[in-house]
Amino acid sequence: MMTRAPSPGWRHALKLLSVLTITSLVACSVAPAQEYPVSITVTMENPQLHYYGVELRIPEIPAGEYLDLIMPVWIPGSYMIREYPQYVNEEAAFDLAGNPLQFEKVTKNRWRVRTADAGGLSFTYRVFAYEKTIRHSYLDEDRAIINGPHMFMFPEPFKEKPVRLEIHPGRGFPRIATGLRSEPGEPCILHADDFDQLFDSPIEMGDIQLLEFQVEGIPHQIAVS
């Protein structure tokens, strides 16, 4: 994972990526969730199986018969269609009281949840992640890499809203590296200004070292694991 100072044409989300942070996960805990328009929780209980668990939680949804959840078929910097939805399975939808909601997959990357009178939504699913490329997420017992487009759906009306991301790291992942900002003293709780920033900000966990250097006066940072 490498970052550098942004050039004028780069997307606004890279403003925070100019400073890569690496934090110890030894004291990582679960803090009480603050109210956010969208909250995402990621688990990795059995990393040897290469599956992440994801919960997308929306405390207040707009009035209407349904809400669409969309998974990207692109990743920043790559100009090809990416079939990330093929890695998703075991989807389930609930209101915030735990009552199941009906949903259907209406296109290859769009899930439509019947949310009339639901108030809020919890949508859960699993993501298979076992490809060692810069375009995918990855998970085993030694390393976890989260690439947002491969992992996260966005609710259509909330794409430009702030996102709270809470990660429950697997054992054996001592450090985390990301350009997203974390809560003070809580390296497992990250914040993005919107989904574009979340998709532009990969996350790596494992035994990571930080290398810093300059090229023609431009600072670079590389997370090496």
pLDDT value at position 185?
Answer: 86
Which positions of the chain have pLDDT values less than 50? 1-18
Which of 143, 140, 142, 174 lies closest to 48, judged by CA?
A: 140
Give the other-Cβ count within 10 Å of 19's Cβ.
12
Tokens standing for 9? 């044409």
Q: What is the 3-state secondary structure (H, E, C) of the chain?
A: CEEECCCCCCCHHHHHHHCCEEEECCCCCCCCCCCCCEEEEEECCCHHHCEEEEEEEECCCCCCCEEEEECCCCECCECCCCCHHHHEEEEEEECCCCCECCEEEEECCEEEEECCCCCCEEEEEEEECECCCCCCCEECCCCEEECHHHHCCEEHHHCCCCEEEEEECCCCCCEEEECCEEECCEEEEEEECCHHHHHCCCEEEECCEEEEEEECCEEEEEEEC
At 10 the pLDDT is 29
Closest by CA to 28, choosing from 14, 50, 43, 17, is: 43
- What pLDDT, on a 0 to 100 scale, did the predictor assign at position 193? 96
CA angle 169, 152, 54 (to 5 degrees): 45
CA 112 to chain centre: 20
pTM here? 0.84
Which of 158, 35, 164, 151 has the alpha carbon at shortest distance from 96?
A: 35
CA gap 177, 208 in Å, rounded: 8
Q: Taking the CA atoms of the chain, what radius of gyration do you get in angstroms? A: 17
Assess contact for 223 and 65: CB atoms under 8 A: no
Q: Which amino acid is at 179?
A: G
Residue of 25, 21, 22 lying closest to 169 (CA atoms): 25
pLDDT 10s digits, 129-166: 999 888 999 999 999 999 999 999 999 899 999 999 99
What is the structure's pLDDT at 83? Answer: 94
Tell me, what's the pLDDT at 67? 96
Domains of the chain, CATH where assigned:
2-224 (2.60.40.3650)
